[in-house]
Amino acid sequence: MALDGDAIVGRVRSIDAIGATWCSAMFVEPSHRRRGIGQALMAKMLHDDKAHGSRCSMLLATRAGALLYPRMGYERIGTLLIFAPKNRTSL
């Protein structure tokens, strides 16, 4: 997590997936964005994952969040499309 004094301003977690990891729930408070906090969180998480034996990571993101990954040394190998019914109230 990232702190500003005692306040949590950013967080990310990594979930083990048998030799790989899944980056989940990265968030930086809007008031603290565009300051390198997301990149620092991601770098620390990926470093820790590698140190614990992770060979690869699954990273999902919004369009804006996906811009961070190439700066971290990742390349896009695919795109996941998720579809839902137009009328979600019928579910």
Tell me the C-alpha to C-alpha distance, in Å, between residue 76 and each of 12, 28, 46, 53, 70.
Answer: 20, 23, 16, 22, 8
Nearest to 53 by CA among 14, 24, 85: 14
Asked if 80 contacts 47 with a C-beta cutoff of 8 angstroms, the reply is: no
Tens-digit pLDDT profile for residues 11-55 = 999 998 887 888 888 899 999 999 999 889 988 998 899 898 888
Residue 73 CA to residue 19 CA, distance in Å, equals 19
Q: How confident is the model at residue 81 (pLDDT cuts 50, 70, 90)?
A: confident
* Token representation of residue 76: 């896009």
Contacts of 24 (CB under 8 A, 6+ apart): 12, 13, 14, 15
pTM: 0.71
